[in-house]
Amino acid sequence: MVIRRMAWGRPGNSGSNETRGLASEGLSGLVPDHAAALCHAYESLGLGAFWSSDAEGRLTYLSPAARALLATDGDPVGRTLLDLFHNEDGASEAGSERSLRFVLARRTRFERLIVRSGAAARPRWWSLSGEAVHHRGQFAGFHGHCADISDQRRDAEETSRLALHDPLTGLANRRHMHQTLARTLAALAPARRACATMLIDLDRFKQVNDTLGHAAGDALLKQVADRLVRLVGDASRVCRLGGDEFQIILPEVEDRGRLGELAEALIEDLSQPYFIDGSRCLIGASIGVAIAPFDGGAADDLVRSADLALYAAKGSGRGRFRFFSSDLLKAAEERKALEEDLHDALAQGQFAVHYQPIVKAQTNQVIGVEALLRWNHPEHGAISPARFIPIAEESNLIRSIGEWVLRKACSDAAGWGVPLRVAVNVSPVQFADQAFPMLVASALAQSGLDPARLELEITEGVFLEEGGLTDARFKALKNLGVRLALDDFGTGYSSLGYLKSAPFDKIKIDQSFVQGATQPASRNRAIITAIVALAQALDMETTAEGVESFDQFDLMKALCVSHVQGFIYSEPLANEAFVAALGGGDWIIEPSGPARQRHQRQAMFRRVGVVHEDHYYPVVLRNLSKSGALIEGLIEVPLDTPFVLDLGDGQLVVARVRRSQGHQQGLEFEQELVSDGNGGLCTRYRVSPYQLSAAGLTLGAGPNGPMQINRGPNAKVTMPAFAMATDWNGAALGWTEAA
């Protein structure tokens, strides 16, 4: 019978049969000779392989090339297909759930089943097809075809990987991250859980590309990616959007204190020097943070919110982070208006220079002052330098404003009649101007001020300009006889390397280190100790900024800080008030202030609301600190009255009245606020839109405050009263609802 002649390649066949293959043995009696030749050519060209099995599933024949590939653990002929091949998740190329075991058990035709052979670490992939063979009504095995598709599969996987990953850094790309974020938000939404995302933009990256070339820029981006992954701890959460922009997603994270700490750590780490082909590069980073569902429930909405926060961070001076808030659009409009007004401020005489004494810590003797710029806006009153200085730097107004401050400070100091030093802040933008030493010489000559009395405070940002220009500028300034102070040491792009050559006379200890130095477990004390030791070793003075309380003051003296500056001695004074206090001779100031550090309070005039029991009251917020607030608008509120302060955007703070006088109340918060990354404060957690909706509140500007509240009869809030009277500690968000 014909079937007997189709017993291909039984075990034990001679090597000559193996080399002749199917064409010479299996089909020689079934098809014409030219068909057998074609099959032999097909096998020889490696286009595919033929196989056959018996009724038990053991291979009785396999084309030589495939037989060699599968012979890693011995001759495959005589072994079962299930011994040799394994499914990937039991799926075929067409997406069906057929497994090899299943199709073999059915004893029917199957096509293009994707299977693998070999170890999982180094698999080989095959497309397997077979036709069941029957003899006298009995199943006799399979005849089939297989093809090695390993190369095609690897190519497909690589194409898929490239479609979803950035080829330079290996991180997920924009498309992949968008898909991941969308899936994450969809998975977390039913359980009403949060998800944060950060957008990161590198500052001054273009300068690296322009000066060192695109190859160096690419190498820098790889190092940035490595640092991001190291800090985040999971590469799948980090993405390169393109250019110098990156994104991070952080599922189930809504604690803005924790997010702020991570953002600060990212900025600090990304701002450390990079070394590329022997060149030292310094860049920075700005970060925008948004949290679902508060800032958007869909991926596009959340990213848009983070992008607005990033824009605000960059607009605030770069090198910082911002959380998204609903007032960012309004703030952007206000900033634009402020920039327009800033162009006219100098010409219209709206600027003034105030002087804050710098005092010897051990003797309380005033040895100098720092010149501080003040802007008295005709409509908005006093504008914080933290708001307008970054705008001046970005709009290039800082050159003309800085020159005016320098000339004004030199002129005022020359008329004091007492040889006190005057310190003037110098922006990196000013310092980068090659004509800056000539400007200083002109200000000194015009005022007649002794150069030794002028101290220029320079931040570490000036060292971003590599090469001999910075050194030459330092040398030119020292040749004029002025003093140089390193301002905000340790808060920017710090490197001990430049202290070896830069001719500084003083290191200023930033107030961010002074604040909190007296708190338990704070590392600030150790940092200040190290700075003082470094300054002493380099024969430099030290000045601690922002000292306000006696515990801070005593600590600075104990750590041998040579000079102190802050409200413990004096606030900044207008020139006339300063001259009057100076009295024409040595000025000794006795320190005065609170015994212990208090959280810094931010003065403001802002409409907010408070909830007491089931009533909502509109009030005005007059100042705010981490631990409390001053409100006005209620009359004679008893001490210890519990409130929920509504700061907007779902920011509810449990508080109690600790001071009450007339229409003003001082509140103490149950949980301290955290930094918003831009000099402001925000709650660590927010009440989600789901919880607000369930309580009868909705986000948005209502007629009586930041939140719109559904009111029932008698103007009562149609929500359960907050259970603060009996449960001060409350829930994780700082408040609970009564049953």
pLDDT band at 421 (very low <50, low <70, confident <90, very high): very high
Tell me the CA distances in angstroms from 695 to 589, 653, 675, 692, one per residue in order. Answer: 56, 16, 28, 5
Neighbours of 649 (CB within 10 A): 21
Q: Which residue has the tokens 């009359």?
A: 635
User: Which class for 561: exposed (0-12), middle (13-18), buried (19 or more C-beta within 10 A)?
Assistant: buried
How high is the pLDDT of residue 18? 38
Evaluate if residue 213 carries a pLDDT over 70.
Answer: yes
Q: Higher pLDDT residue, 441 or 277?
A: 441
The CATH T-level fold of domain 165-326 is Alpha-Beta Plaits (3.30.70)
Q: Which of 451-455, 526-530, 613-617 has the lowest mean pLDDT?
A: 613-617
Q: Using CB atoms within 10 Å of the CB of residue 120, give its burial: 0 to 12 exposed, 13 to 18 middle, 19+ buried.
A: exposed
CA-to-CA distance for 440 and 451, rounded, in angstroms? 9
Segment 427-446 mean pLDDT: 92
Distance separating alpha carbons of residues 288 and 247, to the nearest angstrom: 10
At 474, which helix (H) or strand (E)?
helix 468-480
Residue 287 token pair: 């970060």
Span 205-215, average pLDDT? 81
Residue predicted with more confidence, 215 or 700: 215
Fold (topology level) of 3-155 = Beta-Lactamase (3.30.450)
Nearest to 59 by CA among 125, 24, 10: 10
pLDDT in tens, 145-195: 988 888 888 777 766 666 678 889 989 999 889 999 999 999 998 888 899
Q: What is the pLDDT of residue 118?
A: 75
Label residue 729 exposed, middle or buried (CB < 10 Å: 0-12, 13-18, 19+): exposed
Q: Identify the pLDDT of residue 153.
A: 82
pLDDT at 490: 64
CATH for 602-715?
2.40.10
pLDDT of res. 568: 93
- Residues in the chain, overall count: 739
Query: CA–CA separation, 587 vs 581, rounded Å?
Result: 8
Which residue is listed with tokens 């037989």?
67
Phi, psi of 377 (to 5 degrees): -75, 135
User: Is pLDDT of 412 > 90?
Assistant: yes
Q: What is the pLDDT of residue 2?
A: 34
What does the domain layout of the chain look like in residue ranges? Answer: 3-155, 165-326, 351-582, 602-715
Q: Measure the CA–CA gap between 409 and 574, rounded to whole angstroms.
A: 11
Predicted local distance difference test score (pLDDT) of residue 507 = 92
Share of the chain above pLDDT 90, in %: 37
Please report the pLDDT score of residue 350 as a whole number.
94
pLDDT tens digits for range 646-663 = 888 788 889 999 988 888
The mean pLDDT value for 223-252 works out to 93
Mean pLDDT of 567-587: 89
Q: Which pLDDT belongs to residue 691?
A: 62
Contacts of 232 (CB under 8 A, 6+ apart): 238, 248, 250
pLDDT class for 73, splitting at 50, 70, 90?
confident
Q: Which helix (H) or strand (E) holds 89?
A: none
The pTM of the full predicted model, rounded to 2 decimals, is 0.56
Per-residue confidence (pLDDT) for residue 19, from 0 to 100 = 35
pLDDT of the residue at 40 = 77
pLDDT band at 15 (very low <50, low <70, confident <90, very high): very low
Q: Which of 272-286, 377-391, 453-467, 534-548 has the lowest mean pLDDT?
A: 453-467
- Which pairing describes strands 238-242 and 245-251: parallel, antiparallel, or unpaired? antiparallel
The C-alpha atoms of residue 279 and residue 532 are separated, in whole angstroms, by: 31
**Residue 528, token pair as written in the block:** 């200040």
Q: What's the chain's average pLDDT?
A: 81
Return the pLDDT at 238. 95
**For residues 406 and 388, what is the distance between their CA atoms, to the nearest angstrom?**
18
293 preceded by a cis bond (ω within 30 of 0): yes
Q: How far, CA to CA in Å, does 189 sit from each of 168, 182, 304, 733?
A: 33, 11, 19, 19
Query: pLDDT, tens digit, for every residue of 85-107?
Result: 877 544 444 433 458 888 888 88
pLDDT exceeds cutoff 90 at 617: no
Q: Is the pLDDT of residue 32 over 80?
A: no
Tell whether the model's pLDDT for residue 703 goes beyond 70. no
Single out the residue of 615, 596, 598, 618 nearest to residue 606, CA to CA: 618
Give the DSSP H or E segment for 145: strand 138-148
Residue 282, number of CB atoms within 10 A of its CB: 21
Residue with tokens 């194409």: 159
In eight-state DSSP terms, residue 638 is P
Q: What is the mean pLDDT of residues 658-684?
A: 86
Give the pLDDT mean for 589-618: 80
> In the predicted model, is pLDDT for residue 63 greater than 50?
yes
Task: Give alpha helix (H) positions in 294-418.
Answer: 299-315, 328-345, 385-394, 398-414
Domain 351-582 has CATH 3.20.20.450: yes
Cβ neighbours of residue 513 closer than 8 Å, sequence gap 6 or more: 490, 524, 527, 528, 531
Tell which residue, 464, 346, 457, has the closest CA to residue 397.
Answer: 346
Cα 456 → chain centroid: 33
pLDDT over 50 at 730, yes or no: no
